[in-house]
Amino acid sequence: MPAVISKPVRAGLPGRSLGAAAVISLIVVVYSYRQHRNTAAKAKKSMAALATAISSASMRNLRSSNTYTAGQWIESDERERQFDADAAYFQGGPSGLNTDGKRARLDRVFLQQLRALARIIIPSLASKEAAIIAMHALFLVLRTWLSVVVAELDGKIVKHLVRGQGRQFLAGLLSWFAIAIPATYTNSMIRFLESKLALSFRTRLTQYVHDLYLNDNLNYYKLQALDSRIAHPDQFITTDVARFCNKLASFLSNLGKPTLDAIIFNVQLIRGVGLQGTLGMFGMYMATASLLRAWTPAFGRMAAEHASLEGDLRAHHARVITNAEEIAFYRGEERESEQLQGSLQRLIAHARSVAARKVPHVVLEDMVIKYTWSAFGYLACALPFFMAPTGRMSSSGDGGSGHRTQRFVTNKRILVNLSDAGGRMMYSIKEIMELTGYTSRVYSLLSTLHALRRDDYERPRAAACGGTAGEFALSRAHGIVYQDIDGVRLTGVPIVAPGGDGGGELLVRPLTWEVRRGEHWMVAGPNGVGKTSVLRVLAGLWPAFAGVVERPEPAEIIYIPQRAYLPLGSLRDQVIYPHTHDQMQALGRTDEELMEVLTAVHLAYLPAREGGFAARKEWKDVLSGGEKQRINLARMFYHLPRFAVLDECTSAVSADVEGLMYEHAKQLGITLITISHRPALYKYHTYLLRLGVHDAAQNSTVSSELMAELSDVRSSSSENSVGNSASISTEPWVDDVATSGVLWDVVQLSTAADTPTSASTGLSASLPVPQVHLKPSSASTSRIDVARESLADANRAEIEQLRAALAAKKAHEQELVSRLDQVQRELMTVAA
């Protein structure tokens, strides 16, 4: 009678119940996935039908930089609603890199961050990502089931070998090869679904970041110019997002499979070696896991710091590539090499430190997982043999030995798999810590972008702003911007360089300025006085801290900076930017019109020289400085805005060509606002806004009659307490510009190029830009106070009007959205 060493493993669970459950799960998952695809296809057709049905209401503006169809407008509105809903989950997150030395933990903060990111990468249970996770889980179950079957098959093969049963042994080998087919397919599908899941996560998350980063709220500009929480955003968006998605996808596999294995194999182990042996193994696992947990370094912080150092090195290389010519002129390669080597050495030192700290951890990890756990496994398998009664250890024939060998091999295989599962669970602790580092960085990026979306900035700044720090903190910016008028108007708007809650720097005192159609203005002043800063506030790049900013719609005004931006693309793309070729054709524009535009800026030779409008080159290296600036102006003639703001954009253009382009722009009806300090451009403009002024009466070239006219012109700018009184008092003004901002005034220019001075038409075009300040007399101060009160009353009334107009616009928008929803429901009803 063969000895019974331990209870046999019942084949019912792995052989029938688990297999049937796996097959049923596969059918359900495949059906759900097909239903999801059918639903997505119907939704896509419905949206296409809706866009076609209301194509007559497509929001297309021939002069705008973008053309929106109704479907695109609905999609954009849905994204904004999603951002509004997600904003509550991205508040109060970590800022920047965690370098305080704290160990990354699976704590509540990490789970909250992961939950917020999961809203983006897994938007719903009916999403493609949820279906992939379900299929991935199914194949993990299949692999566990196959592992149990293989363990039993191993025992049977060895039993037949010990008994000398040749036919059964060969049948077992055939079964082994038969199991290999689904086993290899299952392993391949697990790796494939893991890669597909990581790619799907990255696609959704990157698209979400792009929509939040590159939008009309100018977050891409604010993130670098107005906020200091994120350094090297390109590193966050490309490398960190990809690593987070890869780690998360592999984490689901590396933790899900061992957890499932641990449950199934423990059930099998209880049947094989008894409850006591299983509990002993479990206790040993918990004790050694606690030991490893205590000796595990802060891999999450290390991973985040490594990513930050890689970003620094990448940024230094990008800086060299962008400014290669300037560096070559200065022969600055040695200095740049030192900076690159410094960044590289910091990265290498950190990598060596991480590698050195991993050595003792890996030694302890291998000692525990590979050897200690295996020794305990052998002990658990052998105890039933040694602890069984002596009489039951005897057996007759080879049957007893065969059964004992089968049970030992089966239990050993299960214990090896269980040990492997425990080891992978321990390895996953390190992956969790690395995942916390990447989760923190990605969450920090998204929380910062959401904060910028609601104009919440954080930029520490040295206390160099005097008493204006509290007044001009970014959190206190409350200026009103109105974007739908036929003109440009700033009412009581101080020009402030933003500086976070530490306070911004007041550059120009509250400015009241209006530009009407046909009135060409020039903004002049010394270098560094704040000329371009006026442009930034007008364009919305910098916030308005007070007052009211009114400007035309984006389609009606173009801003041309001094340095031309040349995007990737063809020569045609350089002229029509930011339009695409498809948008250009949709607007009915042709290459012949582009040739006329290039002729106007004296670049008609360019298509023939470069191989046509479709030629694609690295244009920043092909075009000269003057050609780049003329391409900039060609965009103005292509888009034909009503207003154009030119910021020193003709400094590399010859004077004769510059004059022809200015005259051509005026003939086309474009109202020009030029920012420059060159008096040669005065003759193309009607008025002059001077920043950093002194009393014009001190200039001998201006007569008393002209002073009276200048006083009338200044009277329209009542908010400027010093500028209005400049024509009254000639007392010197003693003030620190750095703490209180420069003064300004407005004068009328002579428009006749052949009239160097004319008291009847305005200020001489050759009058130098003043650079001194004035102190108002006591008599004028009272008049200024009265004017301020009057202007304040007018501003309050105007603000109420603006609020009423905004409320009306919002109500109209809601009405349109309701109508679109109704049309969509009707179309879906018809389609159904």
Span 797-813, pLDDT tens digits: 767 777 777 777 777 77
Please state which of the ranges 11-15, 240-244, 497-501, 563-567 shows the lowest mean pLDDT.
11-15
Residue 767, pLDDT above cutoff 50: no
Other CB atoms within a 10 A radius of the CB of residue 600 amount to 21
Residue 270 counted as domain residue: yes
Please state which of the ranges 104-113, 331-340, 387-396 shows the lowest mean pLDDT.
387-396
Q: Tell me the per-residue pLDDT of 717-728, one tens digit each, with 9 for 90 and over.
A: 333 333 333 332
Q: Say how many residues make up the chain.
A: 832
Residue 678 counted as domain residue: no
**Residue 669 backbone class (left: φ over 0; alpha: ψ -120 to 50; beta: rest):** left
Most confident of 14-28, 247-261, 388-402: 247-261
- Confidence band (pLDDT; 50, 70, 90) for 830? confident
Residue 424 counted as domain residue: yes
| 3-class secondary structure per residue, 636-652 | HHHHCCCEEEEECCCCC
What is the average per-residue pLDDT within 257-262? 71
Residue 313 counted as domain residue: yes
Report how many domains make up the chain: 1
Q: 760 or 611: whose pLDDT is higher?
A: 611
What is the average per-residue pLDDT within 784-803? 64
- Confidence band (pLDDT; 50, 70, 90) for 385? low
pLDDT at 266: 66
Distance, in Å, from the CA atom of 426 to the CA atom of 365, rounded to the nearest integer, reads 8
| 3-class secondary structure per residue, 738-750 | HHHCECEEEEEEC
Instruction: Collapse the DSSP code of 825 into the 3-class scheme (helix H, G, I; strand E, B; otherwise coil) and give the result.
Output: helix
pLDDT at 330: 65
For 362, the domain range is 12-23+90-453
Residue 656, pLDDT above cutoff 70: yes
Residue 33 counted as domain residue: no
pLDDT at 47: 47
Residue 556 counted as domain residue: no
> What CATH number is attached to the domain comprising 414?
1.20.1560.10
Distance, in Å, from the CA atom of 176 to the CA atom of 196, rounded to the nearest integer, reads 30
pLDDT at 281: 66
Q: 557: Cβ–Cβ under 8 A, 6 or more apart, which residues?
A: 488, 551, 641, 642, 643, 644, 645
- 177: exposed, middle or buried (C-beta count within 10 Å: 0-12, 13-18, 19+)? exposed
752 touches 729 (CB < 8 A): no
Most confident of 353-362, 650-659, 723-732: 650-659
pLDDT at 268: 63
Q: Tell me the per-residue pLDDT of 119-151, one tens digit each, with 9 for 90 and over.
A: 999 998 889 999 999 998 888 888 878 877 877
Residue 657, pLDDT above cutoff 50: yes
CA-wise closest residue to 33 among 124, 121, 134, 119: 134
First to last CA, the chain: 72
- Measure Cα distances from 104 to 303, 434, 440, 571 in Å: 10, 8, 10, 51
Residue 402 counted as domain residue: yes
127 touches 118 (CB < 8 A): no
- Measure Cα distances from 257 to 21, 142, 246, 428, 793 in Å: 17, 10, 17, 11, 71
What is the average per-residue pLDDT within 93-116? 64
Quickly tell me which residue has 């997505």 as its tokens. 40
Residue 226, pLDDT above cutoff 70: yes
Residue 599, pLDDT above cutoff 90: yes
What is the average per-residue pLDDT within 333-344? 82
Q: 528: Cβ–Cβ under 8 A, 6 or more apart, which residues?
A: none
Residue 612 counted as domain residue: no
Please state which of the ranges 175-179, 362-366, 438-442 shows the lowest mean pLDDT.
362-366
Distance, in Å, from the CA atom of 226 to the CA atom of 457, rounded to the nearest integer, reads 7
